[in-house]
Copies of this chain bind each other. A is one copy, B any other.
Amino acid sequence: MPRQITSFSNETVKRLRALRDKKARKADGLFLAEGLRILAEARDSGRLPEIVAYAPAGGVHPLAAEIIAAAEAEGADVIETTADILAKMSGKDNPQAILGAYRQPDTSLASIDRTASPLWIVAQALRDPGNIGTILRTGDATAAGGLILLDDSADPYSVEAVRASMGAIFTQAVVTARWDEFLAWLRSGPGQLVGTSLNTDSDYLAAEYQQPCFLLIGNESQGLPASYEAECDLLVKMPMLGKADSLNAAIAAAVMAFHVRASWRR
């Protein structure tokens, strides 16, 4: 049965609220996802929350009730609370009516099977959690295997990244690794490492993409380090027709991922 909680100082409320902080997420091993759409995506991907909090104002959506019952059957802590307390936990004035705390999965390179998809997205030192979430969403749309985050990146399990992923945090594998670890792993099996760069004349439309293809996207402000470009099997240029010389990192990832998929369909 759900516990009724109406106090901001309740320990579980404090625990959920703390998950907005990266250190607390790391220590606890959980992360927050908000909203029925994302919780349903999680359930469809075989994932249930360990803690669920919801505000029953005006009744509980039948799909929410299903997810709550399924989570409870697996031993989840289920909390019925108020919109105010949900707002406190999510940090939003108009919170979703339900949120869940999920176990962070293993993010080691050993946890993924590169043959699971012909396409993987690799990003280096992304700073913006919104970009990480958007790239996960694009990864889902292009049936990438997942996102490999290199070096010192924003946390893919932050509230902002999970929100921008629109549920893809549950459908895409997420890996974090240092560049040298990644390179050793990559070279231990098949895989074409493709970097986007201005330092090449090779047009992204003319290039041949092999499977599995690992698309390497650089940091938002610096792009790829020269030493990373040097390790790529293929460098391609996306033509910049205007005055700017760069794209948003999530945009570059998407244009490349859709194009690589398109090149395999022709």
Residues on A close to B: CB < 8 A? 41, 44-45, 130, 134, 137-143, 164, 166-168, 171, 205, 238-244, 246-248, 250-251, 254-255, 258-259, 261-262, 265-266
User: Most B CB atoms within 10 A — which of A134, A142, A143, A244?
Assistant: A244
In the complex, A90→B254 CA distance in Å? 30
In the complex, A244→B166 CA distance in Å? 8
Q: Given the complex, which residues of B lie within 8 Å of A240, measured CB to CB?
A: 141
Give 6 A-B pairs besides A45-B243, A130-B130, A134-B248 with Cβ atoms closer than 8 angstroms: A44-B243, A142-B242, A168-B243, A205-B266, A248-B250, A254-B255
The answer to whether B247 and A141 touch across the interface, beta carbons within 8 angstroms, is yes
The answer to whether B137 and A244 touch across the interface, beta carbons within 8 angstroms, is yes
Q: Given the complex, which residues of B lie within 8 Å of A258, measured CB to CB?
A: 238, 255, 259
Closest to A241 in B: B143
Distance in Å: Cβ of A202 to nearest Cβ of chain B: 15
Q: Given the complex, which residues of B lie within 8 Å of A171, measured CB to CB?
A: 242-244
Q: Given the complex, which residues of B lie within 8 Å of A261, measured CB to CB?
A: 239, 241
In the complex, A240→B144 CA distance in Å? 11
- Copies per complex of this chain: 2
Distance in Å: Cβ of A97 to nearest Cβ of chain B: 16
The answer to whether A205 and B265 touch across the interface, beta carbons within 8 angstroms, is yes
Closest to A243 in B: B171
In the complex, A142→B261 CA distance in Å? 20
The answer to whether B137 and A168 touch across the interface, beta carbons within 8 angstroms, is no
The answer to whether B134 and A243 touch across the interface, beta carbons within 8 angstroms, is no
Distance in Å: Cβ of A154 to nearest Cβ of chain B: 15
Q: Given the complex, which residues of B lie within 8 Å of A259, measured CB to CB?
A: 258-259, 262
The answer to whether B44 and A248 touch across the interface, beta carbons within 8 angstroms, is no
Distance in Å: Cβ of A252 to nearest Cβ of chain B: 9
In the complex, A140→B251 CA distance in Å? 13
